[in-house]
A and B are shown apart, each in its own frame.
Chain A
Amino acid sequence: MWIPGIGFKKQAILKVGRLAIFLPLPFVYREKVSMSSLWNFLFILPALLLFLVFGVYPFYKVFQLSLMEWEGLKGLPMTFVGFRNFWEIFTSDKMWWISMLHAGWITFLALTLQNGVALILALMCARDIRGGHVYRVIFYIPPVLSGIVIGLVWSLIYSYPDGVLNTILVKLGLESWTRPWLGDPKTALNAVAFVHMWKGFGWGFVILLAGLQNIPQQIYEAAKVDGANAWQRFIYITVPMMIPVFVLVAILTILGTMQIYDIIAATTNGGPTGHTEVPVTQILSWMGRRRFGYAAAEGVVFGIILLLSARVLFMVSRKLRQD
């Protein structure tokens, strides 16, 4: 692009300057870089350096590794294999897609059950009941604990034959229901999903409650005067006003739940016989089998799927808001 009215030399500097966005020289095209703005740059330098090394570089490295075959040891050669890793994922790696399905199922439960319960509880607390604050504090305790601790405690609660859950079932006269909840292939995934939802619902509750309290009360008063009943007020005021919050909670739930790992590591670690394998455990196990390129390719596929699903939800929400 030729800009009229300035000399050739400046023209060339500007041209380089536009490319300079890709170079680690952010000052190339400024006509005069004052010392003062250089000093200002020092304020962000530590954060920027750390971010370039531990944020940008791994991001690039994952893409690079995904095209390689490498055993992950420093001396050993990296061989370029093109898209063969991706080809393998899409054609022959059944376990990867099963692990995606597992994570998808937990995510589905989290989106419906967990967030449903969170919404009901938030609606209950939003009516300014006495002690609402105490409930809010209690519900947010599980989310601040680590997945490891929660997984360890629940794996003992689930244990067979004398864990708390089975003991309670026996006391209720439901002996036939008792089972090793985490060891039985039929129940393992749902048992893990329950622990995950137990940890997560308080988080959804807090955000939904804040969203509900942001809705101006006058709208409800006006609707009441016009004779709308509670259900109508919910459908025609609460739901439309809350759509952005719903979408936000949904996106964060998807991103958080698909990447579930700590709880799995502390309860089943993928077992029994792969019935609770999730994408992160799969990636780790390929790292353990010394196929770093393949693990990275799985990471790339996983990241793209997550990004796409968040994107789709976002578009759906925009459509909903327009209607």
Chain B
Amino acid sequence: MTWTSLYYRAQRFLDYTFTYFVLTFVAILCLYPLWWMFITGLKTDETAFIGLGAIPPHPHWENFYIAWTKGHFGMYFFNSVFYTVVVVFFVVLFSSLAAYAFARLEFPYRRFFYTLLIASMMIPVPGAFIALYVLIDKLGLINTRLGYILPLINAGLPFGIFLLKTFFDKLPRDLEDAARIDGCSRLGIWWHVALPLARPALAVVIIFNTLNVWNEYLLAMLILQDKAKMPLMRGLMVFRGPHSADYALLMAATTITVIPVILVYILMQRHIIKGVTEGALTGI
């Protein structure tokens, strides 16, 4: 072994050690606050800030139970599940119907309507929530579940239509032609042929809308005042109150809201990361 090759080996070793060191440091920085949240949820209000990273000697698992029942997080949780399921269902239904029509069917002003729907994804309207509030008020839907669900369905449509249409455009038409020859109607083709083929794209739409609805706060704050109708994020802010809160219980509650997200993420991370990158990079 010559000195030069040894030199290169040493350089390579240092290089990789440094890389792993940096990456691991950042990874710990990402995970630590979540770990801290979890273990603080096992403490009491008095001991919430004692200790940095170890599970407390007497973990108060009952905190989760207290937050779930007395903190109403069980109720908020089921509200969130309800909103998420309903919104995602209708986003998938409406956007897949529309995307299929935009990709395959002929009707007047097709391009115009497509551009209109997609443009809303590109144009930022930060004040729109004022008008949305006014509209919901006018429709008499303030403090109703419907008034919260409808704007959220609309919010999910442009991305869903865009993603599904680009997916349908890439599909070969042969299968659909075969189905048509066999006497399948347009609706039948959409249901029996297009939707099953679009499963990967549908997964992306479902996951993204699930995360969006689960994490939504601003609309919930504007529209829902009744505790019994609030989703989790709104419930968290109500529970914290203006100043006083039991910190350990608060962290137990946030842990409850985070666990489903982390589970979904870990199960679906391939789809999620693919969706982010494809959704963004096809825009170039």
Contacts and interface: CB of A to CB of B under 8 A. Distances in A.
Interface in B143-170: 150-151, 153-154, 157-158, 161
A40 B106 contact: yes
A316 B235 CA distance: 44
Contacts of A306: 124, 126
29 contacts: A37-B106, A43-B186, A44-B102, A44-B113, A46-B97, A47-B94, A50-B94, A51-B116, A51-B117, A51-B120, A51-B158, A54-B150, A62-B128, A127-B19, A129-B19, A129-B20, A146-B257, A153-B34, A154-B33, A163-B49, A207-B277, A210-B280, A248-B280, A283-B130, A287-B130, A298-B127, A299-B128, A303-B126, A306-B124
Interface in B218-242: 218, 221, 233, 236-237, 240
A22 to B, nearest CB: 11
B52 A54 contact: no
Interface in A141-158: 141-142, 144-150, 152-154, 156-157
Interface of B: 16, 19-20, 22-23, 26-27, 29-31, 33-34, 36-37, 40, 48-50, 52, 93-95, 97-98, 100-102, 105-109, 112-113, 116-117, 120, 123-135, 137-138, 150-151, 153-154, 157-158, 161, 186, 190, 211, 214-218, 221, 233, 236-237, 240, 247, 250-251, 254, 257-258, 261-262, 265-266, 269, 272-273, 276-277, 280-281, 283-284
Contacts of B215: 145-148, 262
Q: Give the dominant DSSP class at B's interface.
A: helix
A54 B276 contact: no
B265 A141 contact: yes
B128 A59 contact: yes
Interface of A: 21, 26-27, 30, 33, 36-41, 43-44, 46-48, 50-51, 53-59, 61-62, 65-66, 72, 74, 117, 120-121, 124-125, 127, 129, 135-142, 144-150, 152-154, 156-157, 159, 162-164, 167-168, 198, 202-203, 206-207, 210-211, 214, 244-245, 248, 252, 255, 258-259, 261-262, 265-266, 279-280, 283, 287, 292, 295-296, 298-300, 302-303, 306-307, 310
Contacts of B19: 124, 127, 129
A141 B49 contact: no
Contacts of B93: 46
A144 B127 contact: no
B180 to A, nearest CB: 13
Contacts of A142: 30
A299 B52 contact: no
B255 to A, nearest CB: 9
Contacts, number: 269
Given A47-B157, A54-B150, 16 more contacts: A37-B105, A40-B101, A43-B98, A43-B101, A46-B94, A50-B94, A59-B125, A59-B128, A129-B19, A135-B26, A146-B257, A148-B237, A149-B258, A157-B36, A283-B126, A303-B125
B106 A47 contact: no
A299 B127 contact: yes
Contact of A153 (B16, B33, B154): B33
B217 A265 contact: yes
B106 A207 contact: no
Nearest to A297: B127
A206 B126 contact: no
A26 B116 CA distance: 14
A47 B92 CA distance: 11
Contacts of B33: 150, 153-154, 157, 198
